[in-house]
Amino acid sequence: MFRVGQRPILTFPNIRSAPFDSGQVANVGRRMVSIQATGRRPMSTTDFELLTSRLRLRTPVVGDAESLRLIASDPRVALTTASIPHPYPHEGAIQFIQQIRGVAGTDRRNLAITLSGGDELIGMVGFIGDGPEAELSYMVSPSHWGQGYATEAASRLVTYIFAETQFAAVTARAMVSNPASEAVLRKVGLRWVREGDVELPLRGGVFPTSFWRLDRTDFR
């Protein structure tokens, strides 16, 4: 089971993020802000954590780069996204991690998906603000497909968005040819809005795409 929103979080570079200096390696601290489903704490703009029954969603660190590169380099992953290059640049994962750490805040956040009790990155989940809406994206390593991790991670992040930010809705996109991604969005609670053709230059063409949405007033 692999799930990637149509506009993924893993972009090289992410054209919707601020510029960054790829020659500077982030100085990574281990200050963690843990936000449980039942409570809130002040949000750090650096390291950050959300928990579920099986997963720990945390700020990625430079040490995650190789795991991230292996996932992004897999054609089963890259070719279902709008903006992961294939082949993936060798230093792309390090640069991506540096970039998202620098721009994380209340309007955007990208988190490593790890299993509870472990620390190896098995995927990514995140959102980026677009006016009053937060666009959701996610991916899971092919070696962990079929276990519901994408749904669990995305659900936790949607809960965080509505509990801790002012966004009025969560949106997402998925290639129509990727029904597994659409299934995750449906399970998370997003509703199908429409389908349309979207030009994806990195994929070399125009692809039918489904658009999804969950309004704050409909979130339970």
CA distance linking residue 7 with residue 82, whole number of Å = 6
Query: Residue 33 — very low, low, confident or very high, per pLDDT cuts 50/70/90?
Result: very low
Query: Which residue in 11, 180, 199, 164 sits closest to 92, CA to CA?
Result: 11
Is residue 13 included in any domain, yes or no? no
Query: Which residue in 104, 150, 110 sits closest to 11, CA to CA?
Result: 110
The predicted structure's pLDDT at residue 160: 97
60: three-class secondary structure by DSSP? coil
For the chain, what is the mean pLDDT? 82
Query: Residue 220 — very low, low, confident or very high, per pLDDT cuts 50/70/90?
Result: confident
Is residue 7 included in any domain, yes or no? no
Contact predicate 69/92, CB 8 Å: yes
Taking the CB of residue 146, how many other CB atoms lie within 10 A of it?
10
Q: What CATH number is attached to the domain comprising 54?
A: 3.40.630.30
Lowest mean pLDDT among 80-84, 101-105, 157-161, 179-183: 80-84
The predicted structure's pLDDT at residue 39: 35
Does this model's pTM top 0.85? no
- pLDDT(155) > 50: yes
Query: Which residue in 120, 21, 20 sits closest to 70, CA to CA?
Result: 120
Is residue 38 included in any domain, yes or no? yes
Is residue 9 included in any domain, yes or no? no
Question: The domain containing residue 210 runs over which residues?
Answer: 34-218
Is residue 29 included in any domain, yes or no? no
Average pLDDT on 67-96 reads: 92
Average pLDDT on 49-63 reads: 97
The predicted structure's pLDDT at residue 109: 96
- In the chain, the number of structural domains is 1
The predicted structure's pLDDT at residue 82: 86
